[in-house]
Structure 1
Amino acid sequence: MAGRLSIDLRAAALAALAALALAGCAGSLGGGTYERGEARRAMTVQFGTVESVRAVVLEGSRSQIGTVAGAAVGGIAGSGVGSGRGAAAAAVLGAVVGGVVGAAVEEGVTRRQGVEITVHLDAGQYLAVIQEDEGENFRPGERVRLLRDGGTTRVTR
Structure 2
Amino acid sequence: MKKIAAAAILVSLLSGCSNSDIYSGDVYTTDQAKQVQQVSYGTIVSVRPVKIQANATNGKNENIVGSLGGAVIGGVLGNTIGNGTGRALAIATGAIGGAVIGSAIEDKASQTNAVELEIKRENGGNIVIVQKGSPNEFYAGQHVRLVSNGKQISASPRYGSAYNK
Q: For the superposition of Structure 1 and Structure 2, which TM-score range results when normalised by the shorter chain?
A: 0.7 to 0.9
| C-alpha contact (below 8 Å) 2:48/2:135 kept by paired residues | no
Tell whether 2:82 aligns with 1:87: no
What does 1:55-74 align with in structure 2 at a 5 Å threshold?
55-59=49-53, 61=55, 62=61, 63-74=63-74
Whole-angstrom distance in 2 between the partners of 1:124 and 1:139: 20
| Residue of structure 1 equivalent to 2:155 | 155
Report runs of 4+ in structure 1 exceeding 6 Å deviation: none
Cα offset for 1:50?
A: 1.5
Query: What do residues 83-112 of structure 1 show as CA deviations (whole Å, max 9, x unaligned)?
Result: 333222211111110010011111112222
Query: Does 2:19 match 1:16?
Result: no
User: In the TM superposition, what is the alpha-carbon distance from 1:136 to its structure 2 partner?
Assistant: 6.4
- Asked whether the 8 Å contact 1:115–1:133 carries over to 2, the reply is yes
Distance 1:43 1:102, change over 3 A: same
Contact kept, 8 Å, 2:42 with 2:120, in 1: the verdict is yes
Separation in structure 2 between the aligned mates of residue 69 and residue 144 of structure 1, nearest angstrom: 43
Distance 2:49 2:135 in 1: 11
The answer on whether the counterparts of 1:49 and 1:120 sit within 8 Å (CA) in structure 2 is yes
Tell me how large the CA RMSD over aligned residues is. 2.0
Identify unmatched segments of 5+ residues in structure 1: 1-5
* Runs of at least 5 residues in structure 2 that lack an aligned partner in the other structure: 56-60, 158-165
Contact 2:43 2:142 in 1 (8 A): yes
